[in-house]
Amino acid sequence: MTLLTRRTFLSSLAGACATAVIPSYGLATAKRPGSRLDRLVPLIDPVVDLHNPHTGDTLTTRFHGPTGYDPDAVALINYLMRDWREASIVQMDVRLFWALAVIRQAAMKDGHSGLIHLNSGYRTKKTNDHLRSLGYHTAPSSMHIKAQANDIVVEGAKVADIAKFVEWLQVGGTGHYRGSFVHMDSGPIRQWSE
Ligand SMILES: [Zn+2]
C-alpha cells in the first residue's frame, strides 16, 4: 500500500502522471439545495479515509476547513481517484467528497473503521470504452467520464446498506451492484440496481 501524503504526492505526480493534463472542472457543483447531503454538510467533519485497491494508494485527509477547500488535500483526493490506466487526473466533483465524508462518519457510528475502498473514480473515455468492451456495465456517457462518479465499498458494511444510505443522502444517482459495490454520482437523482 502506498500512503499518500503531501510529501510523497509531488514525487508521485512527477512519476506516474508526469504528462497528465489536469483540466479544471471547478469546485462549484457541490450543492444541491434541499438535499439531505447539503443539510449535513455544515454538521460533519470533512474527512475522507480512502483506499484504491487498483493502485494500493491510501489517504486520510481533511479537505475543507475554516478558510474553505484545502487545495493540497483536494489534489491528493483527485490523484487517488485518477484514471490510473491512462495516468490522467482531473478535478473531481467535490460533492462526492462531502458524500464520502458523511458515509465515513455514518460507518464509524455503526462500529466500522470508516475506510472506503474506491473501486473506480475518474475514467477517460478510452478506459470507459475499454471496460465496456470487456463486458462491464459502463454507460457510453458514464458520469465517471465527467468526474462525477465513484464506485465504492465501505469496509465492514453491507453493500445493500450503503446503497440505501447513499440513496437516502440524495447525492444524485445511486447504483446498487448487488454484492459488489455501490455507484454514486452527482448527476440527477435516480436509482437502479443490477
Ligand atoms: Zn460507477
What distance in angstroms lies between residue 83's CA and the mean position of ligand 1's atoms? 13
* CA 129 to centroid of ligand 1, rounded, Å: 13
Alpha carbons 104 and 125: distance in angstroms, whole number: 29
Structural domain includes residue 26:
no
Q: Which string of b and e fits 104-142 if b means at least 16 CB within 10 Å?
A: bbbbeeeeeebbbbbbbbbbbeebbeebeeeeeebeeeb
Distance 32 CA to ligand 1 centre (A): 20
Query: Does residue 25 form part of some domain?
Result: no
Q: Check: pTM over 0.75? Answer yes or no.
A: yes
22 assigned to some structural domain: no
Higher pLDDT, 4 or 142: 142
User: What's the 53 CA to ligand 1 centre distance in angstroms?
Assistant: 15
Residue 67 alpha carbon to ligand 1 centre in Å: 32
Structural domain contains residue 81: yes
Domain assignment present for 175: yes
Ligand 1 centroid to residue 173 C-alpha, Å: 9
CATH of the domain at 186: 3.30.1380.10
20: in domain: no
Determine the structural domain holding residue 159 and report its residue range: 2-15+32-193
Exposed/middle/buried for 52, CB within 10 Å: 0-12, 13-18, 19+? buried
For residue 23, tell me if it sits in a domain. no
Task: Compute the distance from residue 45 Cα to the ligand 1 centre, in Å.
Answer: 25
Structural domain count of the chain? 1
Spacing, Cα 105 to ligand 1 middle (Å): 22
Confirm whether 74 is domain-assigned.
yes
Q: What is the pLDDT of residues 77-106, one digit of tens each?
A: 999 999 999 999 999 999 999 999 999 999
CB under 5 Å of ion ligand 1: residues: 149, 151, 183
- All three cell numbers of 91, joined, read 478535478
Do 151 and 164 form a contact (C-beta atoms < 8 A)?
A: no
What separation in Å is there between the alpha carbon of 184 and the centre of ligand 1? 7
pLDDT one-digit tens code per residue, 115-140: 999 999 999 999 999 999 998 878 88
